[in-house]
Amino acid sequence: MAQKVLKTNAELLELVRALNVTPTEKGSKAEAKLKKIVDKIKPLFEQYNEKREDIRLDHAHTESNGVLDLNEKGEYKFTKDGIKAMSKDMKNLLDETFEFYQFTFSTEGIDSFKFLAGWVEGIEPEQPSQDDEQV
């Protein structure tokens, strides 16, 4: 049975970043497994992006009649106070947690991808080297 773990949105973003920059051989087991992971986390990433956009909208500057104030590119404008409040809310969003059931498939082909530790059962986090510990 899959183990339930608590993850933060910051950890989710780090996983997405790592998945985007990790090369795999076309048609390989690693490619297929990473695609499964992407498909599974996509709804979580979409939820995060919706909340992020809501925060941006909540703090965007509006004109006196309540209409959003946009720049020439159609992007929201913000006041200094709006940016400060938005930054605080964005940090809280990154710290927000959710429950996630770890993937339980074979780690063959992906066991060297240490960024999957905590997301895939059987992949252990990279241990700090002795050089790292002496710093």
* pLDDT at position 120: 94
* pLDDT at position 33: 94
Do the beta carbons of residue 76 and residue 61 sit within 8 Å?
A: yes
pTM for the model: 0.86
> With a cut of 50, which residues of the chain have pLDDT below it?
none
* pLDDT at position 73: 94
Do the beta carbons of residue 100 and residue 88 sit within 8 Å?
A: no
* pLDDT at position 21: 95
Question: For residue 6, which of 103, 123, 104, 96 has the smallest C-alpha distance?
Answer: 96
* pLDDT at position 66: 86
**Could you report the per-residue pLDDT of 74-88, keeping only the tens digit for each?**
999 999 999 999 999
